[in-house]
Structure 1
Amino acid sequence: MAVLTESDVRTALSKVIDPEIHKPITDLGMVKSVTIGDGGAVEVGIYLTTAGCPMKGEISESVKKAVADVPGVGIINVELDVMNDEQRTELRRSLRGDSAEPLIPFAQPGSLTRVYAVASGKGGVGKSSVTVNLAASLAARGLSVGVLDADIYGHSVPRMFGNDAKPTQVEKMIMPPQAYGVKFISIAQFTQGNTPVVWRGPMLHRALQQFLADVFWGDLDVLLLDLPPGTGDIAISVAQLVPSAEILVVTTPQQAAAEVAERAGAIALQTRQRIAGVVENMSWLELPDGTRMDIFGSGGGQDVSERLTKAVGATVPLLGQIPLDTAVREGGDNGIPIVLGHPETPAAKALEVVAAKLAVRERGLVGMSLSIDTTRR
């Protein structure tokens, strides 16, 4: 019978992935000690990033499960400790480098993350519902997805994800919570109750900058920014901070709403951003007899698509039309996106169509060096 060794246990621990950082705990310096006693008893010391780490129970159980799979292991005991300041600094350096000022990873030349700024000309068109459902659908397809709730005044993403967890902070680095496999951050996680945020433009810009730079997003395939209505401070800040962000316009079929939505998309003419497409929400109500009632009129999404195509000189597709469904509203209130809670409904299927079109797009290569020497010899 093979003798149980510390190396065997550490090899098993290398399979334990930190639920916030998504890297092996052995690579993060989280394994404090491994002690093997009589009868195969194993005691493992684990460093947590902070004393109030919300994932400590999950980490402890994952450690026990991994060690239990090692042949010859008997009783398992996990002792939790907390990193000191030096260890947290080293962790931050290993993840973010040693830059004095945090950088926005999505604005760097080597970034492959597709960034979509979900915009609307006016409120009440279901922009946040579209954002949350697209994020959940993309994550369910196996993509690494993040959502930044950039609607500082009208934040709603935590509610729609059904998760009010607070972020964990390691020095100046913020670990975002997750819901349905989606990392998300919102000003709601930093305020008490339903306290309103009363800020002017410079504060809004700084908040957005911190969410982009200080949050450890990891290697994302897609980042969705839920923008406030209109073409104000946040829309301008997004263009400045993440120039490669593409605009995803949400409208309703109503002509009055479509005209306002067109303005939100036309900001691309001034910011030089690309428009990914248009999503028409609340397109119609499907009645029990199979007929459709156009409660908000019809044609708004197609009109916005055609007018923006003409304005920017490039194709701006109508990515999808989402029918009215009370399940969308119920999912938002209950924190269960309709694409997960009721995937069989027409609204969920329509949202899946939009997500599928975004999912098949290749990760960006804009600004990346191809290492080609163009010098003639």
Structure 2
Amino acid sequence: MGDPGRQGRFGNYGGGYVPESLVAACRQVEEAFREAWPDPGFQQSLARLLAVQVGRPTPLTPVRRLSAELGINLLLKREDLTHTGSHKINNVLGQALLARRMGKTHLIAETGAGQHGVATATAAALLGLAATVFMGQRDIERQALNVYRMRMLGAEVVPVETGSRTLKDATSQAMRHWVGATEHSYYCVGSVIGPHPYPWMVRTFQRVIGDEARGQCAAELSTAVPDYVVACVGGGSNAAGTFAGFVDTSARLVGVEAEGGAGAALGRVGVLHGARSLFLQDGDGQIVEAHSIAAGLDYPGVGPEHAHLRDLGRARYVTVTDDEATSALVRLARTEGIVAALESAHAVAWVIRAAGAGELPPGATVMLTLSGRGDKDVSTLKELA
């Protein structure tokens, strides 16, 4: 999981399939990132923000009661404890610093569950930038708390009424808006999707999760490396960041997708939002709507690096149903006092299912990234009660 080169290729995937009007903008972002990332001053600024604003490092929490019930050793990397409540802030602060370094004054973002939007609004307020967040109308309705948080932080939230009115359409609209605003605006992509350099850059900012977790596992475990490393996957940023810390170890990497949004598990090769990857498609090659109770997993594809890891056999991608995810959320809450986001609950659900089916050997050590907290999902869960 290194530098994909100037073409942005992860094996057969990636690239920059964008309109001519965005080619120069993407190249400008790449050049700025290549210049900034090795700069000690940039690194120090980001590290300080991650420490004093985000609260890094986040803890690695042993979940003893649930582990005992499952017959395994389950450890949670607690991204739910970050400021703003999810892993999204790690990437956004890096990109917001980059935008300011480039002289941009306005952040553009897409959001599904609202966590990336909240993180973008937070970073914009912190660094004195304007922010416009595109969000599908369906997601606005089911993530009303995060919409209110974004607006309270000063961001403009633009409803997207086209298509499925979810993350895919919000991303499309954000990219269209960027076309006419590249001079002063920076598109702050929320996942390891989109044209080069975004999949590589977002993973690089998110690998703080995997690097921290690897060091914490080395201190916690007699074997130093867990048997399994598990994370939920929509576009796949928290999983990409987690896997980056363990890809060169013996740990088995498992990405858990929503059954209705399983780009890595069930998708075919196609192009969407500027990158070649795996997407859900109909017989004519048209992108089909994804479905998930978790708005952050309601995306019909997966980032190109995940597609490459799947092809290599280095990571395995599995699916979980809405019912399994909600059941896992409740079980984790009642055994450990942790209310996870519905996205993260998909990863917990797979661990519960795999342990019960004997797929996880008794005593196996599992490190799972809990990508976010579940405050935003309370209304959805109340409707199901």
- Normalised TM-score (structure 2): 0.28
Task: Identify the structure with bigger relative contact order (alpha carbons < 8 Å, sequence gap 6+).
Answer: 2
Name the one with the larger helix percent.
2
Question: Rg: which structure is higher?
Answer: 1
- Normalised TM-score (structure 1): 0.28
